[in-house]
Structure 1
Amino acid sequence: MQAYILINCQTGSETRLISELMELPEVIEVNGVWGKYDVLLKISTNDPNGAEQIVKQLRNHPDVVDTYTMHVLYGQGGTIDHE
């Protein structure tokens, strides 16, 4: 399962949070972004509850204010269709 997670964080904590997120084995990509959200996280996990566990971990992080999770739909484009 793959998912994109949008994250709002405490002002000034973006760089530290991104560094921490890059250490998670499920993380494929993480970027700071401008706009409504501060960080875009792409994850992949074989565990059916993996995305939920990561979101719980994020929501308990002291620098994370809010998250928004979008699960990838297989068969609707992107590189995931070739797996």
Structure 2
Amino acid sequence: MPTAYVLINCRLGKEAKIISQLRMLSGVIDADGVYGLYDIFAKVTKDTDAELETVLRNIRRVEHITSTNTLIKIEDQS
């Protein structure tokens, strides 16, 4: 099952709103605020690579997200 971890930067003060929106997206398993270089960490899982790509595209379209860095899990190394 394709899985990705998305590191997200957003506009200051919009973290809680974005986390709430992300948790409503199909395929987003979890989303949490974090300290460090990024503001939000999200885990995404879908049945196919194409479905995963669609969710990732939808994440990038969420208002107030300024950048993302996506790490796709290597299934054979789990």
Q: TM-score interval w.r.t. the shorter chain?
A: 0.7 to 0.9
After the TM superposition, which parts of structure 1 deviate over 6 Å for at least 4 consecutive aligned residues? none
- Are residues 1:3 and 2:1 paired? no
- Contact 1:29/1:43 (8 A) holds in 2: yes
Q: Distance in 2 between matches of 1:27 and 1:59?
A: 13
- Contact 1:4/1:40 (8 A) holds in 2: yes
Give the structure 2 partner of residue 80 of structure 1: none
Name the TM-score, length of structure 1 as normaliser. Answer: 0.83
% identity of equivalent residues: 32
* 1:10-38 Cα shifts (integer Å, max 9, x gaps): 11000000011111120111110011100
- Contact 1:30/1:40 (8 A) holds in 2: yes
Name the TM-score, length of structure 2 as normaliser. Answer: 0.88
- Are residues 1:33 and 2:30 paired? no
- Number of paired residues? 77
Give the structure 1 partner of residue 70 of structure 2: 69
Q: Distance in 1 between matches of 2:30 and 2:63?
A: 21
Higher CA-based Rg = 1
Q: Select the structure that is richer in helix.
A: 2
- Contact 1:55/1:67 (8 A) holds in 2: no
